[in-house]
Amino acid sequence: MHSRLSNCEPNNPASSTCQSGRLLRRAALLTLLALIATLTTLPLSASTADPSPIPSIFDPYSTPAHDIYHLSLFVLSICAAIFLVVFSLIVYAAIKYRRRPSDDDCEPPQIYGSNQVELAWTVIPILIVVVLFLASARVIHAVEDAQFPANAIQVTATGHQFWWEFEYPKYGFVTANELHVPVSPNGTSLPTHIMLLSADTDHSFWVPQLAGKTDLIPNRKNEMWVEPHEVGTYVGQCAQYCGTQHAKMLLTVVVQSQEDFDRWVQEQKAPALLSPQVDAGRKVFETNACLSCHTIAGTPANGRFGPDLTHLMSRTTIASGAAPNNEEKLRLWVKDPDAIKPGCLMPAMQLEDRDLDSLVAYLMSLH
């Protein structure tokens, strides 16, 4: 009967091996079922509740993020279908053709070449790849080649080790770490166009709920845009390793109603408040190196190496989200920036306690 193989000997496995094999198979099958059940119940739908504090690509709130979200669902479902088909076939084959006690240990008939099968496993994957390519190209085109209305907000974002600078060239002011943009309620379109630059090394701007990830590269202009549909605060992170404090480069985007945004713009455009009560602190600031690294509009301080401090107190955090913006943390920061952000590029200025107090009072007056 098995003339093809001469050294064919019947085999006789111990029944205990058989028993444990059956148990193993049953465990594997259960694991597989559990895996499939978990995968199919994952919450993949976009919610309409408030933006979650944990940024997620599955919870989009802005036009480009929506497009990317739908594309990823499409790609994921194709991949899931392929996974299910291939995995089921493997499991089926492994169970159906498993070794049995009755096996005679002979090599089965060997089959070579089948035009139908080979065509099928060449053509189907090619079709899948073409569909994925076209779907991606459509979204890339929609996001990268978008046309902007004349009233689009312009922002130049510059990545620094280890903070973000946001300049609004049309309005003529600069702020840091907390980007404000107007909302585009459903049906309207008021996008914010962001020019991405870097002052030192590579950074990456990623607020997953608003748009895809785009790098900030020295000597190069990259662009991106957001068009959020709901008011709220969205967070992200520098997504390209840029040095010691890369992990403390929080990105905060405050999406505001048109009126709130306009009010914020008016406040930011104004020069710094000069209150005589904090003159002592201002002198400390202006007679130390602070003024060559920081700008305070309306004063001699015009450095660009560190964040603009003109309206420091309009921000909720300092040092790119590393600490809340309050008197205690400001004092600690100016006394010893490394205590909050070890390795950051602001030096400890070794001030006397009295000078430190008046300096912090001055900073606290910068609303």
The contact pattern for ligand HEC, residues 83-102, with x = CB under 6 A and - = no contact, is --------------------
Binds 289, which of ligand HEC, Cu ion, none (CB < 5 to 8 A, cut-off by type)? Answer: ligand HEC
Task: Select from 55-63, 67-75, 169-177, 240-248 the region that touches Cu ion (CB under 5 A).
Answer: 240-248
Closer residue to Cu ion, CB minimum distance, 247 or 273 = 247
Is there binding between residue 238 and Cu ion (CB under 5 A)? yes
The contact pattern for ligand HEC, residues 333-352, with x = CB under 6 A and - = no contact, is xx------x--xxxx-x---
Residues 18/101, Cβ–Cβ less than 8 Å? yes
What is the distance, to the nearest Å, from the Cα of residue 167 to the centroid of all Cα atoms in its chain?
Answer: 21
Q: Give CA angle at 187 (230, 254), nearest 5°.
A: 25
Task: Locate the DSSP E strands across 239-346.
Answer: 250-256, 317-318, 323-324
Q: What are the structure tokens assigned to 234, written together?
A: 């969205």
Residue owning tokens 């603009």: 308
Task: Select from 130-138, 210-218, 225-233, 288-296 the region that touches ligand HEC (CB under 6 A).
Answer: 288-296
Task: Select from 21-29, 103-111, 230-238, 308-316 the region that touches ligand HEC (CB under 6 A).
Answer: 308-316
Closer residue to ligand HEC, CB minimum distance, 105 or 286 = 286
Which of 156, 288, 316, 365: binder of ligand HEC (CB under 6 A)?
288
Is there binding between residue 359 and ligand HEC (CB under 6 A)? yes
Residues 268/171, Cβ–Cβ less than 8 Å? yes
Is there binding between residue 294 and ligand HEC (CB under 6 A)? yes
Residues 56/208, Cβ–Cβ less than 8 Å? yes
Which strand (E) or helix (H) includes residue 204?
A: strand 203-206
Residues 314/302, Cβ–Cβ less than 8 Å? no
Which of 319, 329, 358, 361: binder of ligand HEC (CB under 6 A)?
319
Residues 307-329 as b or e (16 or more Cβ within 10 Å = b): bbbbbbeebebbbbbbbebeeeb
Q: How many CB atoms lie within 10 A of CB 183?
A: 21
Which of 143, 175, 178, 203: binder of Cu ion (CB under 5 A)?
203
Pairing mode, strands 250-256 and 178-182? parallel
Which of 242, 301, 344, 356: binder of Cu ion (CB under 5 A)?
242
CA distance 249 to 132: 34
Which of 61, 162, 205, 206: binder of ligand HEC (CB under 6 A)?
162
Closer residue to Cu ion, CB minimum distance, 226 or 238 = 238
Closest of 324, 310, 363 to residue 166, by C-alpha: 310
Is there binding between residue 305 and ligand HEC (CB under 6 A)? yes
Q: Which residues bind ligand HEC (CB under 6 A)?
A: 162-163, 176-177, 245, 285, 288-290, 293-294, 305-307, 309, 312, 315, 318-320, 330, 333-334, 341, 344-347, 349, 359, 363
